[in-house]
Structure 1
């Protein structure tokens, strides 16, 4: 049987045209199914799991192995299923007339969202997942082989201009100028952001009203870089048992830095359901419309 590393390497080799060198911007080619090398001889080795690190310096994140394990269990429970179904429908319509297409999940974590969506889109769609967390990309390459996984910086995305038919950005930081550069003409940009009631049961425990920060308007920021912009809101209740609640507390940034007393309070109260509240922002390249 072909190894997971080889499955990932073959996807990188077949789609090397997507990449550009993060150092000089030159074209990259996969050599001996083991390293990406550009015309100026900058070289990036594939890991033994088959992902590639295309960052140009050391980067520390708060996202560790335990967090991604908790996140995967949350995703596998069906926590995000309604929003993933809607994203899949949007992408299916966007790509329905294309014989081949490429999509990228910018801030993909351990790859579960992208992998779930790709299962419904067909073999003609190439999936690329990038994240600054090496732990997340390592898990993605191991658990979801046959796609392209890369450690990469959103401030310096290692891809050529206008290569992607769609860009996903799910509950993750964004770089709108880079996303606009990467998106093909008539391409689709889809961002998922938390709304006011997202995880409100946990917010009531971990945040006082005075402590809550007011985020800038993400829809307005998208509109600064893209043309047609519309939004949809998805809200639902999701049941929790104690084990899943513990995983959710471990996963969400809401609890980072919280005292152990507050963590125990959240578990002791016995929250039996949680509110999911997202806005999906859908946009196209400037001066272009859509039919989604």
Structure 2
């Protein structure tokens, strides 16, 4: 019998049900009938038809819609981020048996790609507050755990993850250090000044962008053995990728229709990828909560 995507995802959840904790009462959870997670206090969370679970009890409205995630998938499937993902995979290659959390996984493409390139026995868990992203991930990439969840209240037990990925997403370091096993690996990917500079030149012109606080220092506040690697390259941009690239990046949100049309008409032949990969190892005693 061919298993449905919901059944495939449910099996992975059931096998790894010990990682979950109820987001309402924080108690342990079990899988019932292959279709719902239930805690000791009988809070129940049904799996969707595609096999993800919504563990964010309060409704959240995000600015990320289905069209945006489709645009992101188109760009990501082109190999746009391959250099960045290869660097991340190299930091994780020593892990033969690992449970990996992608915090802020969006539509799941990054996590799915990374899992496919690791040779060990790995289990992937992707969380995001955007229901549209998790819906797309569960549908497109069965075989992992996908959950709508809040970084401020991650629905997982303490010290259950070998690696936490945080790619182009906000961070909650208190939760990350709680969730990681002793000696667990944290990997954060942050854009640098050259990232998409061709679009920045169009949409920002001579206006400077506000720089975020130093992410390396933030990681070093909470993790030991902090290392960085700068990944910079140019990617040939096929004509059909320009529109979804403009749609997916916050750089262009709020731009006028005229400015978007100008960018589309320019026919940008190459685009710059510029990231720093920051890694750290969980220390014995974590610091205070610091959210970015």
Q: What is the TM-score normalised by the length of structure 2? A: 0.95
Aligned equivalents of 2:196 and 2:262: distance in 1? 15
Alignment of 1:229-268 (within 5 A): 229-268=226-265
Residue 279 of structure 1: CA displacement?
A: 0.3
Name the structure 1 match of 2:36: 35
Aligned equivalents of 2:120 and 2:24: distance in 1? 32
- Name structure 1 gaps, 5 residues minimum: none
Which of the residues 101, 104, 123 maps onto 2:101? 104
Aligned equivalents of 2:123 and 2:46: distance in 1? 21
Q: Which moved more, 1:7-16 or 1:119-128?
A: 119-128
Residue 217 of structure 1: CA displacement?
A: 1.0
> 1:63-98, CA deviations, whole angstroms, 9 ceiling, x for partnerless residues?
1111111111101100001111111121112x04xx
Name the structure 2 match of 1:126: 123
**Alignment length (residue pairs):** 284
Residue 211 of structure 1: CA displacement?
A: 4.9
Residue 226 of structure 1: CA displacement?
A: 1.4
C-alpha contact (below 8 Å) 1:227/1:287 kept by paired residues: no
Residue 206 of structure 2 corresponds to residue 205 of structure 1? no
User: How well do the aligned residues superpose, as a CA RMSD in angstroms?
Assistant: 1.2
Aligned equivalents of 1:210 and 1:203: distance in 2? 9
> 1:3-25, CA deviations, whole angstroms, 9 ceiling, x for partnerless residues?
11000000000100001111111
Name the structure 2 match of 1:214: 211
User: 3-state SS of the aligned residue for 1:156?
Assistant: coil
Name the structure 2 match of 1:177: 174
Which of the residues 196, 207, 224 maps onto 1:227? 224
Aligned equivalents of 2:100 and 2:190: distance in 1? 19
Q: Which moved more, 1:221-230 or 1:72-81?
A: 221-230
Q: Select the structure that is richer in helix.
A: 1
User: 3-state SS of the aligned residue for 1:174?
Assistant: coil
Residue 242 of structure 1: CA displacement?
A: 2.0
Residue 123 of structure 1: CA displacement?
A: 6.2
Aligned equivalents of 2:267 and 2:138: distance in 1? 35
Aligned equivalents of 2:207 and 2:140: distance in 1? 41
Residue 241 of structure 1: CA displacement?
A: 2.1
Aligned equivalents of 1:258 and 1:211: distance in 2? 15
- Name structure 2 gaps, 5 residues minimum: 286-292
Aligned equivalents of 2:199 and 2:150: distance in 1? 30
Aligned equivalents of 1:103 and 1:117: distance in 2? 10
Residue 120 of structure 1: CA displacement?
A: 2.1
Name the structure 1 match of 2:23: 22
Name the structure 1 match of 2:88: 87
Residue 175 of structure 1: CA displacement?
A: 0.8
